[in-house]
A and B are shown apart, each in its own frame.
Chain A
Amino acid sequence: MTDIKLSVKGLYKIFGDRPNYAMQHVLNGMSKQILLDEHDHVLGLKNINIDVPAKRLHVIMGLSGSGKSTLIRHINRLIEPTSGKVIIDGENVMEMTQDKLREFRRHKISMVFQKFGLLPHRTVVQNVAYGLMIQGIREGEASERSQKWIDQVGLTGFEKHYPAQLSGGMQQRVGLARALATDTEILLMDEAFSSLDPLIRTNMQDILLDLQKELNKTIIFITHDLDEALRIGDEISILRDGEVIQKGDPQDIILKPADAYIADFIKDINLSRVLKIGSIMEKTTSALGPKLAFNTSVEEALQIMNLTDNGVAAVVDAKGKTIGKVSIELAITAIVHPDRKNNGARYK
């Protein structure tokens, strides 16, 4: 595996008056429900283990109450765990002193919030500069450095506006610019786009993906929306009732849902758009038809194959070498019965 930037190890969080006492019960295998009914403690997170390689976008997906917002707040220690570690660059965040933690938050990690968390009395440029001002950088330099990020997220011309004068989507762009302005290696995004309209959400996802191509940050992205998770995630962890029930890349999750709960989610997904032909192809080194990249979506491939005489296409890797073939038939089978096809190859 590539080098791990951030890793969560054996993380437990129990809410209640006596979490350490409740912890013993949990370790002895007591269920979440019994812990709540008989001991009045809520098991928020149970034995979370996640490794995130550097420069990847890791999505944590779960419905409300699954513990995803609790989990992300452990990574910069806005919430103290009951037990467990968060290791970033070899250092356990949970053991940092208050001073160290503050330095860590100022320089190493930044965060985007669902409800934006902007300062209403500061203008856009002052909000974007907030992290820099906290670091102790003087106003002039901070504004100058912020301007670059305001331009990047497309808010040029709105520098002197107050947050209340902006739409939700624009406010979240301010939130994103503020998080990027401190040049931290890690970015936490807590349902950052969930409160936005669908169109604006897609637009923000594009902005994030474009920026990520240049910036290569390690991003933890929380969402309750599987479409969003599949669209932007390099890796996805699915959280339910405070436990990770499946980890994998988007293709893995669609093709091999770990249980009925996840399969149920996938039912509503537009598979033709999410599935890549590299995941459904038949492996071969020579094939007829137009050459399509392995990461072409099935939808696009169908459109192209439909124009050919025999309805087939060759799948090529990043270097243009043929690695497999697909046909209209194969593509349709994959979309209609995602769990029944593909005994063959996998390429990503």
Chain B
Amino acid sequence: MLEFFEEFPEMSRGDLRDFKKAIDSAFRSFSRTNGEAIESFFDPILWFLIWLEKLLLATPWPIIILVVAGLCYLGARSWKLSLGSILIFVLIGYLGMWEDTMSTIALISVATLLCISIGIPLGIWMARSDRVQWLVTPVLDVMQTIPIFVYLLPVLMLLGIGKVPGLIAVCVYAMPPIVRLTNLGIRLVDKDILEAADAFGADKKQRLFGVQIPLALPNIFAGINQTIMMALAMVVIASMIGVRGLGIPVLQAIQNQYLALGLMNGLAIVALAIIFDRVLQNYGKRLQQHREGRKND
């Protein structure tokens, strides 16, 4: 009797081993039969990623820098920011990180586009139905808290090493903020304004695109911003499974204790993050200018 309290009543070793084996072999046979189909499902994304990376690498560097500065100005309407981004890119190129930076930008862009195109509709769906919210919220919690290597393993077993598993790893981690903040933003839309839309006979589409999404935009923008930041944070992890970019030198630096190499590439990632963040925030603020009281008098 005393034994019951001292030792936890564990599953027997043999049973546990069989249990794990059963799961492993089931997944292995699943990946053997379906791996190719799943791989080809991701092909279009892979092609797009490769195309974008090649495009960035093939374009002469002055043009890239001009385009980046131009985009910065379009987004933020700030000469300082454009100038800063030119400086940063020149420095990156001068320190020999140009190609890795282009690869990283390609990965982040594709990952962000993927997260937005899945995340925003999912967030809208969640905002419309409490049931969907009840179902999706715990999934998002898992996506954000589960150790990366745990979900990397099945992805690797299915798809092997390469760009697509890297992209999936980035998206799993980076998508939750955009979903959550889209959902939140739409749920926070002023009920009085929605009631007014109803009173004038707005249908579901007119409610969504005329009222809910425009009023949720500040939150949606915060979500996109968070998604980009988290995607950048995943660059090193993605490099572990064969994605080119700024993460690879960082990995080499860790393995060989190259302090300078690690710092330089790490700071390049930080610099990219800062540029993305400031441009998006300023753009979001400009979209919300109408909230700022009386500017004309």
- Residue numbers of A with Cβ under 8 A of B are 76, 78, 101-107, 110-111, 113, 115-121, 130-131, 133-135, 161-166, 178, 182, 188
Q: Does residue B20 face the partner (Cβ distance < 8 Å to A)?
A: no
Q: Who on chain B is nearest to A114 by CB?
A: B192
Q: Which 5 A-B pairs have the closest CB atoms?
A: A117-B196, A105-B201, A106-B201, A162-B290, A111-B199
- Shortest distance between the CB of B198 and any CB in chain A (Å): 6
- Shortest distance between the CB of B35 and any CB in chain A (Å): 47
B192 pairs with A115, CB closer than 8 A: yes
Q: Does residue B291 face the partner (Cβ distance < 8 Å to A)?
A: yes
A110 pairs with B290, CB closer than 8 A: no
A102 pairs with B203, CB closer than 8 A: yes
Per-residue CB contact flags for chain B residues 186-203 toward chain A (1 = under 8 Å, else 0) read 000000110111111111
Q: Does residue B296 face the partner (Cβ distance < 8 Å to A)?
A: yes
* Complex-state Cα separation, A135 to B200, whole angstroms: 9
Contact of B291 among A107, A161, A164 (CB under 8 A): A164
A113 pairs with B195, CB closer than 8 A: yes
A103 pairs with B292, CB closer than 8 A: no
B290 pairs with A76, CB closer than 8 A: no
Q: Does residue B206 face the partner (Cβ distance < 8 Å to A)?
A: yes
Subset of 5 A-B contacts with CB under 8 Å: A78-B195, A107-B201, A111-B196, A113-B195, A131-B201
A104 CB contacts on chain B under 8 angstroms: 201
- Shortest distance between the CB of B101 and any CB in chain A (Å): 36
Q: How many A-B residue pairs have CB under 8 A?
A: 77
A135 CB contacts on chain B under 8 angstroms: 201
Q: Who on chain B is nearest to A101 by CB?
A: B201
Q: Does residue B162 face the partner (Cβ distance < 8 Å to A)?
A: no
A116 CB contacts on chain B under 8 angstroms: 192
B201 pairs with A165, CB closer than 8 A: no
* Complex-state Cα separation, A105 to B196, whole angstroms: 11
B198 pairs with A105, CB closer than 8 A: yes
B296 pairs with A106, CB closer than 8 A: no
Q: Can you name 18 extra interface pairs (CB under 8 A) apart from A104-B201, A106-B201? A: A102-B203, A107-B201, A111-B196, A111-B200, A113-B192, A113-B196, A118-B193, A119-B210, A119-B211, A134-B200, A134-B206, A162-B291, A164-B290, A164-B293, A165-B296, A165-B297, A166-B294, A188-B199
A102 pairs with B214, CB closer than 8 A: no
Q: How many residues of B contact A (CB 8 A)?
A: 25
Q: Does residue B253 face the partner (Cβ distance < 8 Å to A)?
A: no
Contact of A165 among B193, B196, B293 (CB under 8 A): B293
* Complex-state Cα separation, A134 to B203, whole angstroms: 8
Q: Does residue B13 face the partner (Cβ distance < 8 Å to A)?
A: no
B293 pairs with A117, CB closer than 8 A: no
B199 pairs with A105, CB closer than 8 A: yes
B200 pairs with A121, CB closer than 8 A: no
Given A120-B290, A134-B200, A161 contacting B296 (CB threshold 8 A): yes
* Complex-state Cα separation, A117 to B202, whole angstroms: 14
- Shortest distance between the CB of A87 and any CB in chain B (Å): 19
Contact of A121 among B201, B215, B293 (CB under 8 A): B215
Per-residue CB contact flags for chain B residues 277-297 toward chain A (1 = under 8 Å, else 0) read 000000000000011111111
Q: Who on chain B is nearest to A107 by CB?
A: B201
Q: Who on chain B is nearest to A123 by CB?
A: B290
* Complex-state Cα separation, A224 to B50, whole angstroms: 67
* Complex-state Cα separation, A55 to B295, whole angstroms: 41
* Complex-state Cα separation, A102 to B198, whole angstroms: 8
B192 CB contacts on chain A under 8 angstroms: 113, 115-117
A103 CB contacts on chain B under 8 angstroms: 201
* Complex-state Cα separation, A166 to B296, whole angstroms: 10
Given A120-B291, A121-B290, A105 contacting B200 (CB threshold 8 A): yes
* Complex-state Cα separation, A110 to B200, whole angstroms: 6
B292 CB contacts on chain A under 8 angstroms: 164
* Complex-state Cα separation, A162 to B291, whole angstroms: 8
A106 pairs with B200, CB closer than 8 A: yes
A107 CB contacts on chain B under 8 angstroms: 201
- Shortest distance between the CB of A259 and any CB in chain B (Å): 34
Contact of B199 among A76, A118, A120, A121 (CB under 8 A): A76
* Complex-state Cα separation, A76 to B296, whole angstroms: 37
- Shortest distance between the CB of B286 and any CB in chain A (Å): 12
* Complex-state Cα separation, A73 to B182, whole angstroms: 30
Given A105-B200, A105-B201, A117 contacting B295 (CB threshold 8 A): no
* Complex-state Cα separation, A113 to B196, whole angstroms: 8
Q: Who on chain A is nearest to B206 by CB?
A: A134
Q: Who on chain A is nearest to B217 by CB?
A: A121
B217 CB contacts on chain A under 8 angstroms: 121
* Complex-state Cα separation, A106 to B197, whole angstroms: 10
A118 CB contacts on chain B under 8 angstroms: 193, 196
Q: Who on chain B is nearest to A166 by CB?
A: B294
A102 pairs with B201, CB closer than 8 A: yes
- Shortest distance between the CB of B71 and any CB in chain A (Å): 24
* Complex-state Cα separation, A325 to B196, whole angstroms: 50
* Complex-state Cα separation, A119 to B209, whole angstroms: 12
Q: Who on chain A is nearest to B207 by CB?
A: A134
B215 CB contacts on chain A under 8 angstroms: 119-121
Most chain B CB neighbours (cut-off 10 Å) among A103, A121, A133, A188? A121
Q: Who on chain A is nearest to B211 by CB?
A: A119
